Structure 1
Amino acid sequence: MTASDNTVFEEGKLSIGITLPITHEHQSIVDFSEQIALARLADQLGYRALWVRDVPLNSIDYPDPVGHLDPWVLLGALASNTERIALISGAIVLTLRHPLHVAKGAISVNTLSHGRFILGIGSGDRPPEYAAFGRNPDERRDLYRQHWETLAATVNVPSRVIPDSTPEGAPEFYLLPRQNLSIPLLAVGSGGQSVDWIARHSLGWMTYHREPQAQRGRYGMWRAAVERAASGAFRAFGVAMRLDLSDDADEPATDIPLGYRTGRHALASLLHDMRERGTHHVTLNISSERRPARDIIEEVAAYVLPEFHR
């Protein structure tokens, strides 16, 4: 299976994925053996994608206390423990990593997963983290574009390595193993770029959840940008949404930060509305505060996925 075979992004349809790790509020220590088991379950039950975050450093000033694994290590483990589900980085902080290192990681994961990898890319939004890595946050927009260009040249087919510098007598470099298909690049957040730039360079745009009216405006802005920058081409639109699933199937949806607390019936209705308004993929950031994550994954798979993953 290749990433293009797994319909994470398809015009007129909506697919559903899961963000890892699944934790509860204030949890800092994660049992990653359990996370791998949940990933296997999601794969078996027909979810379309597993999303993995890139959090290089932690601080008491950051709201997220979780000790995230290095994304390439976790993605390698997921590639070896799943068979069908797409793997997506959500998102590699491109401005804090050399693009050739990112390309090597992407090619490695894509090889291990037999073409199931989509490379989601972000720019990071924490100025002190830039300083820790010796980067100037004021340069992140230009750095993002420069690194994207180098990365895209390397992971596309045919592949081309763009060195930072080429001293006299330097050999021509390439990356192995060679790929039969280009690795898709996905903009997660804006990276400080215009939506027109994203529409020209990315397979789509992934954003975080907003209330419905704001999200409609966001999608309208995206569609206008796609028409200007890539008229007639398909460009995906996706949303990361927090889910606190009630054990009462009929509980109506109520707003929580970056998502909803809801029963499964209202969840399906919300997702139908999102599909009708132009969203192609939703990754669920599941809250396991009230219920075990396994129960939520199984309930959504049994009652909600069949409405969308036919």
Structure 2
Amino acid sequence: MIASENTSASSSIANVVFAEDKLSIGITLPITRDAQSVVDFKEQLALARLADDLGFRALWVRDVPLNSVGYPDPVGHLDPWVLLGALASNTQRIALISGAIVLTLRHPLHVAKAAISVDTLSHGRFILGVGSGDRPPEYAAFGRDPDARRDLYRQHWETLAAAVSVPSHVIPDHVPEGAPEFYLLPHQNTSIPMLAVGSGGQSVDWIARHSLGWMTYHREPQTQRGRYSMWRAAVDRSASGAFRAFGVAMRLDLSNEASEPASDIPLGYRTGHRALVALLHEMRDSGTHHVTLNITSERRPARDIIEDVAAHVLPEFHR
């Protein structure tokens, strides 16, 4: 099996989140205030259930193995697999997406086992987003060479894709004489879709060949349109005739004034819901298929923001 076979499998949950000429909206967890480090995860699960009930398409969970004083994100993230398991048990319809498992710091067979477990618990609602991490000191802490991350990412991707595809195939690191042939349980009926979050040090052509799509951070519109044009060219070269998604993680500070115009904040916007609708229409028309909102709740409770987006924004896109 080659790694790119994972992209050919039909996946209903991937089709719900990523569809050609459409835009869907998700939420990134946990939702916190600026500089907040202690998270009430009982509240996060309640917000997840609310997002599920109101029709958001996806819940995204980050993988932050270690924290340090110099790291800009002070949040005490749960292990992503533990949180994804809780989300699988507390939601019914919404997609669950890892955004992103640091593939270079985890053994791909462990990742495969965890992914199959979450997919089973969620009844096929899991999309496996993976990245390579970007902090050299963290590599050192795990005994990895940051200069080798590009090759390691490709190697781990191939092993992981083989394991979570149907039929599943375990590629051992070493095969001593007399070693048995391994397999993973429980058996899957469909392949788990794999998504590149960030570049992982790879070319866009490599991503287009191997991933169902490319997820990236928010950038100002002109720059983002340029990146999408680059992505489309890579898809045409490397996956001609296939649909490959393009997604964006965007920070949102939603005003309680519906008509407040959009203003730039780091990695996103402060805006009222009317301007947000206009921004998302422009993003959809420019080729974006999914936006996950990193909600900031400094001025308004997170529940109010989720309900506001559900009432005034989702109907424009989730028909």
TM-score class, shorter-chain normalisation, is over 0.9
1:3 is displaced (CA, Å) by: 5.3
* TM-score normalised per structure 2: 0.96
Q: Unaligned 5+ residue runs, structure 1?
A: none
After superposition, residues 130-209 of structure 1 pair within 5 angstroms as 130-209=139-218
- Give the counterpart letter for 2:129 in structure 1: G
Superimposed CA distance per residue, residues 54-84 of structure 1 (whole angstroms, 9 cap, x where no aligned partner):
0000000100000000000000000000000
Secondary structure (helix, strand or coil) at the match of 1:7 reads helix
* TM-score normalised per structure 1: 0.99
Which residue, 96, 105, 117 being the options, matches 1:96? 105
**Residues 24, 317 of structure 2: 8 Å contact kept:** yes
- Give the counterpart letter for 1:28 in structure 2: S
**Residues 58, 94 of structure 2: 8 Å contact kept:** yes
- The 1-side partners of 2:283 and 2:80 are apart by 29
Percent sequence identity over aligned pairs: 84
Partner of residue 236, structure 2: 227
**Residues 56, 94 of structure 2: 8 Å contact kept:** yes
Partner of residue 6, structure 2: none
**Residues 11, 190 of structure 2: 8 Å contact kept:** no
Superimposed CA distance per residue, residues 144-201 of structure 1 (whole angstroms, 9 cap, x where no aligned partner):
0000000000000000000000000000000000000000000000000000000000
- Give the counterpart letter for 1:135 in structure 2: R
Backbone CA RMSD of aligned residues: 0.8
Could you list the runs of 4 or more consecutive aligned residues of structure 1 that deviate by over 4 angstroms after TM superposition?
none
1:101 is displaced (CA, Å) by: 0.2
Q: Does 1:308 align with 2:317?
A: yes
Partner of residue 57, structure 1: 66
Which residue, 4, 10, 13 being the options, matches 2:12? 4
- Give the counterpart letter for 2:160 in structure 1: L
- The 1-side partners of 2:194 and 2:16 are apart by 15
Partner of residue 85, structure 1: 94
Q: How many residues were matched structurally?
A: 309
- The 1-side partners of 2:35 and 2:244 are apart by 36
Secondary structure (helix, strand or coil) at the match of 1:255 reads strand
1:4 is displaced (CA, Å) by: 1.4
- The 1-side partners of 2:150 and 2:258 are apart by 44
- Give the counterpart letter for 1:272 in structure 2: H
Secondary structure (helix, strand or coil) at the match of 2:12 reads coil
**Residues 3, 116 of structure 1: 8 Å contact kept:** no
- The 2-side partners of 1:289 and 1:218 are apart by 31
Q: Unaligned 5+ residue runs, structure 2?
A: 1-9
- Give the counterpart letter for 1:169 in structure 2: G
- The 2-side partners of 1:40 and 1:104 are apart by 25
**Residues 19, 284 of structure 1: 8 Å contact kept:** yes
